């Protein structure tokens, strides 16, 4: 049989201050009441609801103002990502995900959870993209994400300077070279 309690603080997934909620008796007795998150809903505690509602309104107003300020700062921010692409292609190798955006935001001093970044699918096209971040209830910031592709001229310039572009060895060649090195190392030791 559920027990009614009045929440004193915001409890994720349950409610906020001054909410009267029904919970299982063990949850109320063993967690909510000892941690001072709630009080039993009696006639005396119901009178305290007005005080809790004022605290809740003040907290929500402060959080809303902070969220609007953060949204303004994020709106001015431009995040730039560099990805490789084939010659003359719009599609890039790899993609920009919400995790990449959250990491780049953290580098710029903003602590945003990747779950709050509204990215329906990973960005795989170069160019400018607008990404929405749900900061608070009703406050959404829009961040410009720029996906760039290094020009093909840089690879050509490297080859002109005498530098060879790096090629990845196949697994077969790598094993063969490793075996040859170990054979050479064993021969002098045997003599």
- Give the separation between CA 170 and CA 165, rounded to whole angstroms: 16
pTM score over 0.85? no
Structural domain boundaries in the chain: 3-47, 70-153
Q: What is the share, in percent, of the chain residues with pLDDT greater than 70?
A: 77
Question: What pLDDT does 155 receive?
Answer: 47
Record: fold of 3-47: Ribosomal Protein L9; domain 1 (3.40.5)
Residue position matching structure tokens 């299982």: 24
Which runs of consecutive H residues, i.e. helices, occur in the chain?
25-27, 43-47, 49-75, 98-107, 153-160, 171-190
Burial of 121 from C-beta contacts in 10 A (0-12 / 13-18 / 19+): exposed
- 31-79 pLDDT, tens digit per residue, is 999 999 999 988 887 777 878 788 888 888 998 999 899 888 888 888 8
Class of domain 70-153: alpha beta
Same fold, 3-47 and 70-153: no
Question: Which of 18, 12, 11 shows the shortest CA–CA distance to 55?
Answer: 18
Q: Dump pLDDT digits (tens) for 85-102.
A: 777 666 677 888 889 999
pLDDT at 191 over 50: no
């Amino acid at each position: 049989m559920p027990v009614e309690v009045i929440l004193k603080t915001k409890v994720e997934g349950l409610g906020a201050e001054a909410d009267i909620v029904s919970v299982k008796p063990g949850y109320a007795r063993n967690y909510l009441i000892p941690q001072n998150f709630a009080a039993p809903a009696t006639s005396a505690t119901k009178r305290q609801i007005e005080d809790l509602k004022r605290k809740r309104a003040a907290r929500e107003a402060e959080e809303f103002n902070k969220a609007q300020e953060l949204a303004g700062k994020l709106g001015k921010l431009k995040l730039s990502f560099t990805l490789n692409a084939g010659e003359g292609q719009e599609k890039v190798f790899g993609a920009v995900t919400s995790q990449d955006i959250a990491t780049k935001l953290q580098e710029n001093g903003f602590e945003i959870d990747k779950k709050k970044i509204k990215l329906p699918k990973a960005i795989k096209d170069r160019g400018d993209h607008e990404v929405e971040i749900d900061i608070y209830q009703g406050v959404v910031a829009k961040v410009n994400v720029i996906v760039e592709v290094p020009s093909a001229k840089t690879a050509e310039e490297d080859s002109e300077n005498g530098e060879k572009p790096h090629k990845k060895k196949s697994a077969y060649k790598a094993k063969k070279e490793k075996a040859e090195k170990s054979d050479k190392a064993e021969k002098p030791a045997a003599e």
